[in-house]
Amino acid sequence: MNAHWYFDFVSPFSYLQLAKVLQWRGRLDITPVPIAFGAVLKHHGQLGPAEIPGKREFTYRFVQWQAEQTGATLHFPPQHPFNPLAVLRLCIAAGSTWNAIEAIFNHLWRDGKAGATAAELADVGRALGIGDVENAIASAEVKEALRANTDSAIAAGVFGVPTLKVGNEIFWGNDATPMIEDWLTHPQRFADAEYRRIADLPFGIERRR
C-alpha cells in the first residue's frame, strides 16, 4: 500500500513517531513529506499547542513522558517553538531522504541542538553532503517545493503533524501510533457500523468564530 507521512521538524511528536514509521516501511510504501506546520495551522485558523499557555507546559511534559515510556532519547532544543523553515528546506535540498530526515531530527531532538539558521545547521548539512547550507536553503526551487508540499498536505486533509495517510485513511499524531498498528493488522476495523455512524454524526451546537 502507498502512504504519505507528513511531518515538520518543529514537532517532537513527529520525532517520536519516526522510529515506528521506519518499521512500517516494511509493510507500506511510505513517501515522507516535510511540510510547514505553521501554514497548516493558519489555513485551519488554529493555534499550535506550544502557543497556548497551560497547554504548552502540558505538551512538553507529555512529550518527555512519551519518550521515557518508549526508551527514546530526547533532549529539547534550546528554544521551542523555533522557526523550522531552515531545517525543512535543508531536508528538501538533501532530497527528503530517510537518511536526511533521521539526521535532522537527531540533530534537533536527540542531541538537543538549535536549527533555525544556516549556521546552526552547518554540521548536519556537511554530514548530508551539503557544504553551503545557506545557499541550499535559499534556493527558489527548494522554497517552492516546500510550499507545494504544504499545499498538497492541506488538499489531502492534513490538519496536524505527524500525519500518516494511507489511501483515504488519515491518522494524526504520535498518539495514533497504536491505532495505525491495529489498523494495519485489521484493515476493516473502521467498516463497523458504529464507526460509520460517528463519521456522519450531526452537530448539536456550533460555536461562533
Q: Is residue 207 a part of any domain in this protein? A: no
**pLDDT reading at 209 higher than 70:** no
Question: What span, in angstroms and rounded, lies between the C-alpha atoms of 33 and 113?
Answer: 22
Question: What span, in angstroms and rounded, lies between the C-alpha atoms of 38 and 36?
Answer: 5
Q: Is residue 147 a part of any domain in this protein? A: yes
The tens digit of pLDDT for each residue in 28-67 reads 999 999 999 999 999 999 999 999 999 999 999 999 999 9
**Which positions ≥6 away from 208 have C-beta within 8 Å?**
none
The tens digit of pLDDT for each residue in 180-194 reads 999 999 999 999 999
Q: Domain of 185?
A: 2-199
- What is the identity of the amino acid at 139? S
SS3 9: coil
Q: Is residue 146 a part of any domain in this protein? A: yes
Residues facing residue 165 across a β-bridge: 4, 170
Give the number of other CB atoms < 10 A from CB of residue 55: 14
DSSP for 171-203, please give it: EESGGGHHHHHHHHH-TTGGGSHHHHHHHTPPP
Q: Is residue 31 a part of any domain in this protein? A: yes
- Region 108-123 average pLDDT: 98
Residue 57 CB burial class (10 angstroms; 0-12, 13-18, ≥19): exposed
Q: Is residue 182 a part of any domain in this protein? A: yes
Q: Which three cell numbers stand for residue 154?
A: 492541506
**Which positions ≥6 away from 27 have C-beta within 8 Å?**
1, 184
Q: Is residue 125 a part of any domain in this protein? A: yes
- Region 6-30 average pLDDT: 97
Of the candidates 153, 188, 206, 161, the one whose C-alpha atom is nearest the C-alpha of residue 17 is: 161
CATH of the domain at 28: 3.40.30.10
Q: Is residue 204 a part of any domain in this protein? A: no
Q: Which residues of 166-205 are buried (b: 16+ CB within 10 A; e: fewer)?
A: beeebbbbbebbebbeebeeeeeeeeeeeeeeeeeeeeee
Q: What total of structural domains would you count in the chain?
A: 1
Question: Which pLDDT band, with edges at 50, 70 and 90, does 12 fall under?
Answer: very high
The Cα diameter of the chain in Å comes to: 57
Question: Which pLDDT band, with edges at 50, 70 and 90, does 208 fall under?
Answer: confident
